[in-house]
Structures are given as structure tokens and as C-alpha cells.
Amino acid sequence: MRNTAIQCLFCGAIAAGLWVAVFIAHFLCHQVSELQEVIQEPRIGSLGKYANQQIRPSEKISKQHMINGKSGPNRPEKPKLHPNLDNVTKTTDPEFFHELFKYGFNAFFSRKLGYEREVPDSRSEICRQKRYSLRLPTASVVICFHDEEFNALFRTVSSVIYLSPPHLLEEVILVDDMSEFDDLKEKLDYQLEFFRGKVKLIRNTKREGLIRSRVIGASRASGDILVFLDSHCEVNKVWLEPLLHVIAKDPKIVVCPVIDVIDEMTLEYKTSPVVRGAFGWDLKFKWDHVFSYEMDGPEGPSTPIRSPAMSGGIFAIHRHYFNEIGQYDKGMDLYGGENIELSLRIWMCGGQLFIVPCSRVGHISKTYLAEDKFPIKVAMARNYLRLVNVWLDEYKDNFFFKKPSFYKSMAYGNISERTELRKRLGCKSFQWYLDTVFPELEASEEEKQDNTRKETKLFSLITKGKKVP
């Protein structure tokens, strides 16, 4: 009897093991097939339905461009826009998926692209015909990074240096926010020697987060204009001059380029249409259509577009104006919400914010990033609460309507310095912002909230068995 029971248990264990093996094999096959579909039909990326997938032929980048008498670092042969997989099975290795979730995009393709590449010129024809003065303000480009994929970071730096006029590019300031990856240490130091005199590398002694790291980088800048970039970008041709040209006319104008999409799986550079930045009462950034009348006039599609908000990572601002309006709120942690806060501060305190169609910068949206989300969510909640309690006035309840009830009891630190800043700058009310800059927010969101209230009331009547009016 005992032997029979043991045999039954043994057979049961084998059967269970086989079922687990079949399940794992099915899961892996499903993941691989999904990945191959993604590679065959690349996703739109961060601009969603607004992204235009047509690619224009690129112009050749001059290989004679020199920085301080030195050529670029180990400049490879020109890669194809679609890196050719020598062996498709490489993309199904566990290491591929590990890197996908480690960096948030296809690191395998990124290594194949190397330190630089040519991207298609995504400017409109009217933008290509424009000419800019040689006497423009100088720029300091600030790039903050934390555990970035090495090749993506280096492509960001090299694209800025090779596609910016040397007399306008004062410096590139890299701020390492306590990265842990080995290739971002000695290897990065060695490769940056090729750009000696043009690149400054600052290494934080503790983790500061994106917001405070940008303030640190800006404090070391000497150019007239601060240009902030993410660490996984590639600038396009004649990208810097249009931004400097607008700010040169009015130092209280803050400008953003059009953000082209670099697909996170294929790393294909995709042209985006001209859109403006916006947000809802949850304060989450989103892209919005541009009104047709804003693109009328002699400059046509090259006309700078008023934008209620900036996307966050990529914009240019006069260095003195950045300091004058209070830089970033250093009481905010890591990242999140700082772009909306700065956008409101610019508009409400006497400045203006524009999208410049003739400036194009490609950006990788890290869709697959698998990091510890809880600290980031806590930081973002704190940042939003600081923003709401300083800038939204009587409209802050519209934000809390979108959030769980515990948001009202969360700590967000001392905001007295920011409220004093608002008084000192003589900033206008949030009602003025709604009336003058972004009236679409109030109209659309109030209608949605009204519909939600009606649906809630209707559901309550139905559940209580009462007659529906």
C-alpha cells in the first residue's frame, strides 16, 4: 500500500512538472512572437497617433567636422536606419529581454548603431530654406543621466557636437546622477577625451534626481542659453539655430523643438507632425492638435506655436531668465510634474512658451522600463501636490477629484519659498492662465466631470430601485 502511494505521488510530480514546462514554453513562444511582430511593425512611440511614419532621405553629415583639432571618437561606417539582424534568434535570448527591461529600449540595436549615425532631415521645405544670423547667443547644452545605455548617451552627445555650429555651442555639460553601470565610469571618461574642451562631466556625490541634477548642471553653465536634453536623444540638422533665434528676439520666451520619435524597439527615426503640449486635470502631459489659424501667415508651417505646456526633457531658456524665475522647485524629488510646474510659472509670471517647428530632436520613449516604480510614484505624487498648492488656486479641487482621497493627506514639504517666489514675481492667477492660455482645459474637463457626476447619480438611482428621470 505504501509503495503504491509513493508511486502515485511520483507520477503526480512528473505530471505537474510537465504541465509547468509546457506553460513556460508557451509563455516564451508567445513573448517571442509578440516581439517579432513589434520589430516587423514598429510602434508609434510617445507621440501616439500623432506620429508620422514617413521617412525622408537624409543628408550626408560632414565627416570633416573637427572639435579642437580632433576628429570624432572611433567614427563607424554609416549604419542603416533599420539595423540588420544577422541572426534573429539573438533577439529571443534571455539577455535581450533583460536589457530591454534594464534600459527601457532595444540595447541590442543600440550597440549595432554605435556612437553616432545619420538621421533623416525631418524639417519642412520652408524650414530648410531659412537662414540664420551668425551672431546668435551661445548655448550650453545640459544632459543629465542615471544608468543610461552607453551608446544612446554617446549618440546624444556626438549628435549635439557634430550638428551644432561650433561658434554657438559653448559647451556640453553632462551630469552623472550616481550611475552604477561600469561603462559609465572609466570608459565614458576615456571616450569623452575626444571632445576635450567641449564637454564637462559632473558626477554627483549622492543621488539627486533629474530636477536637482539639472539645477546643478545649469549652475556650471557659461553660455547665454541653457538647452536641456534627455540622455537618449539625437538632434537633427540645423536644430540649434531656430531655438536661439527666437530667444534672441525676447529673452522671456522659452522654446521647445518638435519631438520626433525614435522607436524603442527598432530605433528607427520617425518624423512627427507639429503638435503642442497640453495636460488634463490629473496634470499628466499629453500632445494636442495645433489650431490651423496658428500656422497661417507668411512663415506658414515654420511659425513658432504657442504651447500651454512643455513635454519636460527638451527645451531652451535664457540662462539669466531661468535664474530670475526660480530655476526648478528643488523641493521636488526625482522627476515628474516639474515640466507642468515650470510651464505654468513661465506663462503666469510674464513669460511665453513656444514650439519651434524648424527645430527637430529625436527622442526614445522608454516604454519597457522596468524599474522600482514605488519611489517614483511617491516622488511624482509629492511633486504634483507642491505644484497644485502653489499654482492652481481655487482649481486645485479639480486635481483632487481625479486622485484617490489619500492624496489630500500626503506630505509635500515646505512650499513657503515657492509661494514667496510667486508673490515676488507678480504672477497672475490660474484663472488668467485658463482664460488666456489654455481655455480648452476648463471646458473639456468640466464637461467630462459633469458627465461623470451624471453617470454616478444615474447608477445610484438604478441600484436603489428608483425611477430614472
pLDDT of residue 43: 33
pLDDT of residue 315: 98
pLDDT of residue 66: 36
pLDDT of residue 444: 52
Mean pLDDT value of segment 261-290: 94
pLDDT of residue 365: 86
Mean pLDDT value of segment 430-448: 81
CA distance 342 to 330: 12
pLDDT of residue 109: 93
pLDDT of residue 16: 56
| CA quadruple 246, 248, 250, 254: dihedral sign | positive
- DSSP assignment string, 347-406: HHTT-EEEEEEEEEEEEE--TT----HHHHHHHHHHHHHHHHHHH-GGGHHHHHHHS-GG
Q: Greater confidence, 280 or 66?
A: 280
Kindly state the cell numbers that stand for 272: 512627427
Averaged confidence pLDDT in the chain: 81
The answer to whether 106 touches 265, Cβ cutoff 8 Å, is yes
CA distance 381 to 43: 29
Q: Greater confidence, 411 or 409?
A: 411
How far out from the chain centre does Cα 208 lie? Answer: 18
How far out from the chain centre does Cα 133 lie? Answer: 30
- Dihedral pair phi/psi, residue 64, rounded to 5°: -95, 0
- Dihedral pair phi/psi, residue 202, rounded to 5°: -110, 130
pLDDT of residue 178: 95
pLDDT of residue 324: 97
pLDDT tier at 372 (50, 70, 90 boundaries)?
low
pLDDT of residue 450: 52
pLDDT tier at 125 (50, 70, 90 boundaries)?
very high
- Name the CATH architecture for the domain at 88-364: Alpha-Beta Complex (3.90)
Q: Whole-model pTM above 0.95?
A: no
Mean pLDDT value of segment 165-171: 97
pLDDT tier at 139 (50, 70, 90 boundaries)?
very high
Kindly state the cell numbers that stand for 369: 522600463
CA distance 162 to 172: 12
Lowest mean pLDDT among 24-38, 128-142, 272-286, 449-463: 24-38
Q: 205-259, pLDDT tens digit by residue?
A: 999 999 999 999 999 999 999 999 999 999 999 999 999 999 999 999 999 999 9
pLDDT of residue 448: 54
Cβ partners under 8 Å of residue 229, min gap 6: 141, 142, 143, 156, 160, 235, 313, 314, 361
In terms of DSSP H, where are the helices of 197-337? 209-219, 240-249, 319-324
Kindly state the cell numbers that stand for 455: 453617470
**Is the pLDDT score of 311 beyond 60?**
yes
pLDDT tier at 101 (50, 70, 90 boundaries)?
confident
Lowest mean pLDDT among 172-176, 387-391, 454-458: 454-458
What is the percentage of the chain residues whose pLDDT exceeds 70?
73
